[in-house]
């Protein structure tokens, strides 16, 4: 009974957001996995309730490419796109072009979300994005293959992962020459920054730049982490892993051609779909730890923001409010394993039934390691570029880990010298 009333009043609230002259909003949302379709479903529901129309754009898959495109549009003060889905590391890069959502969305709605994400999205007192979904790196493993090769649990350390992957790879290759042990995001882009932060942090080597702004990346533990992962490329990971983003890794995994994969939670629902070779065989665990370290997951995730140059800010904010609401986050969690940003949904029986690891890995999601975006502000993409390039040079064996991190330290100091 109570529930029915709540839904009716929510519908009424969104209907009120439409006025006599219905508008058409342009929405730059997602494209990875089922991202486009899931955005479409939510946008259609809002459009139906309000009488407005939403035109959903095709956006690049890679976050770096999206950023470059949106920076061009916003830099030219273009109002062509009303609502943008923005990465958790962008508020300091493009926040000046985004509306303060506190003026449009009630505080009661805002305060439902994880405070750390709301804080991350608040720049100079302005709330520039509403939390849409959060992300953290996890380890996918094949439950059937672990059993077949005599393992009872997911690996706890990188060395264990290497040993297990080696054994499974050798066995499976007898019948499947394409089979590999471990896939991850190894191409030179933001995804590599995320993976490499996990390696370094799980060895106890810090987070590139610490929260006070000090450059910490050139340390022995970080060197050891990179050395370990360099050793995986060409052994349990294919050399081509240095051309993989999220989707390339998922394609190998979902075709049944790898024992382990590092990816974000969206890959779970995708892998459980009809036609997937790994349906019903997917285990999800925390990523491995380095010697004496603890597992680390990089904090990812996306927010919805309104373009400050939009001609329809009120309707755009209403769309954002709907898309980030509890009911829509619940639908997206159940249908597509997107992590909610509302704590209570991690206790919701329907959510936990659809995505059991939202319960078992709750701590991984709430203790994820942030990239140094807040402290480096408008310089974050330069910092991340320099970092992923240094790591890429190590993975492709162009540079040894020690010299790569020493050079990187110098580059970061020069960026810092220009102010962060």
- Footprint of ligand GLC on this chain (CB under 6 A)? 63, 87-89, 135, 190-191, 194, 246, 264, 300-302
Task: In angstroms, give the least distance from the CB of 387 to ligand GLC.
Answer: 13
Task: In angstroms, give the least distance from the CB of 149 to ligand GLC.
Answer: 30
Q: Which is nearer to ligand GLC, 67 or 236 (CB)?
A: 67
Task: In angstroms, give the least distance from the CB of 88 to ligand GLC.
Answer: 5
Q: Where are the alpha helices (DSSP H) in 309-348?
A: 313-323, 326-336
Q: Which is nearer to ligand GLC, 198 or 246 (CB)?
A: 246
Task: In angstroms, give the least distance from the CB of 259 to ligand GLC.
Answer: 22
- In angstroms, the CA 69 to CA 91 distance is 15
Task: In angstroms, give the least distance from the CB of 254 to ligand GLC.
Answer: 17
Task: In angstroms, give the least distance from the CB of 302 to ligand GLC.
Answer: 6
Q: Which is nearer to ligand GLC, 65 or 360 (CB)?
A: 65
The residue to which tokens 């519908």 are assigned: 11
Task: In angstroms, give the least distance from the CB of 162 to ligand GLC.
Answer: 24
Backbone CA torsion sign across 258, 263, 269, 270: negative
Which backbone phi and psi does 272 adopt, to 5 degrees?
-90, 0
Q: Between β-strands 53-56 and 24-28, what pairing exists: parallel, antiparallel or unpaired? A: parallel
Closest by Cα among 341, 245, 347 to 302: 341
Backbone CA torsion sign across 330, 331, 337, 339: negative
Task: In angstroms, give the least distance from the CB of 133 to ligand GLC.
Answer: 8
Q: Which is nearer to ligand GLC, 52 or 121 (CB)?
A: 121
Are the C-beta atoms of residues 173 and 200 closer than 8 Å to each other? no
Q: Which is nearer to ligand GLC, 64 or 328 (CB)?
A: 64
- In angstroms, the CA 304 to CA 323 distance is 8
Are the C-beta atoms of residues 191 and 261 closer than 8 Å to each other? no
Are the C-beta atoms of residues 355 and 342 closer than 8 Å to each other? no
Cβ atoms within 10 Å, residue 260: 29
Q: Which is nearer to ligand GLC, 32 or 308 (CB)?
A: 32
Q: Which is nearer to ligand GLC, 54 or 197 (CB)?
A: 197
Dihedral (C-alpha) 265, 267, 268, 270: value to the nearest 10 degrees?
Answer: 140
Longest dimension (CA), the chain: 67
Task: In angstroms, give the least distance from the CB of 87 to ligand GLC.
Answer: 5
- In angstroms, the CA 396 to CA 186 distance is 9
DSSP code of 149?
T
Task: In angstroms, give the least distance from the CB of 264 to ligand GLC.
Answer: 5
Q: Which is nearer to ligand GLC, 30 or 172 (CB)?
A: 30
Are the C-beta atoms of residues 30 and 85 closer than 8 Å to each other? yes
The enclosing H or E element of 151 equals none
Q: Which is nearer to ligand GLC, 63 or 202 (CB)?
A: 63
Q: Which is nearer to ligand GLC, 146 or 194 (CB)?
A: 194
> What residue number has its CB nearest to ligand GLC?
300
Buried/exposed code over 222-232 (b: 16+ C-beta within 10 A; e: otherwise): bbbbbebbbeb
């Amino acid at each position: 009974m109570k529930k029915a009333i709540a839904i009716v009043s929510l519908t009424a609230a969104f209907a009120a957001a439409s006025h006599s002259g219905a508008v058409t909003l342009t929405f730059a949302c997602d494209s990875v996995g089922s991202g486009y379709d899931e955005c479409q479903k939510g946008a259609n529901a809002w459009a139906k309730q309000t009488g407005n129309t939403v035109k959903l754009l095709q956006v690049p898959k890679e976050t770096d490419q999206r950023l470059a495109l949106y920076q061009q549009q916003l830099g030219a003060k273009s109002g062509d796109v009303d609502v943008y889905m923005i990465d958790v590391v962008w508020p300091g890069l493009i926040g000046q072009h985004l509306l303060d959502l506190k003026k449009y969305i009630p505080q009661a709605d805002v305060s439902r979300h994880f405070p750390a994400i709301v804080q991350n999205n608040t720049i100079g007192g302005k709330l520039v994005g509403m939390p849409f979904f959060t992300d953290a790196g996890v380890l996918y493993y094949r439950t059937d293959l672990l059993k077949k090769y005599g393992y009872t649990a997911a690996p706890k350390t990188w060395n264990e992962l290497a040993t297990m992957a080696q054994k499974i790879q050798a066995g499976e290759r007898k019948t499947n020459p394409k089979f590999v042990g471990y896939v991850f995001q190894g191409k030179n882009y933001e995804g590599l920054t995320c993976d490499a932060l996990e390696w370094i942090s799980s060895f106890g080597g810090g987070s590139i730049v610490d929260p006070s702004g000090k450059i910490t990346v050139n340390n022995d533990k970080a060197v050891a982490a990179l050395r370990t992962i360099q050793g995986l490329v060409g052994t349990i990971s294919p050399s081509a892993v240095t051309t993989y983003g999220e989707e390339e890794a998922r394609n190998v995994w979902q075709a049944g051609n790898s024992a382990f994969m590092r990816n974000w939670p969206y890959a779970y629902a995708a892998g459980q779909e009809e036609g997937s070779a790994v349906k019903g065989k997917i285990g999800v665990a925390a990523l491995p730890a380095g010697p004496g370290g603890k597992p680390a997951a990089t904090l990812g995730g996306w927010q919805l923001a309104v373009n400050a140059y939009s001609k329809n800010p009120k309707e755009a904010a209403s769309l954002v409010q709907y898309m980030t609401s509890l009911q829509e986050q619940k639908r997206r969690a159940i249908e597509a394993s997107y992590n909610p940003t509302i704590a209570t949904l991690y206790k919701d029986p329907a959510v936990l039934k659809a995505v059991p690891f939202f319960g078992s890995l709750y701590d991984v999601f709430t203790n994820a390691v942030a990239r140094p975006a807040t402290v480096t502000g408008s310089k974050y993409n330069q910092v991340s570029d320099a970092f992923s390039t240094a790591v890429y040079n190590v993975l492709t064996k162009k540079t040894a880990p020690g010299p790569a991190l020493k050079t990187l330290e110098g580059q970061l100091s020069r960026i810092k010298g220009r102010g962060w």
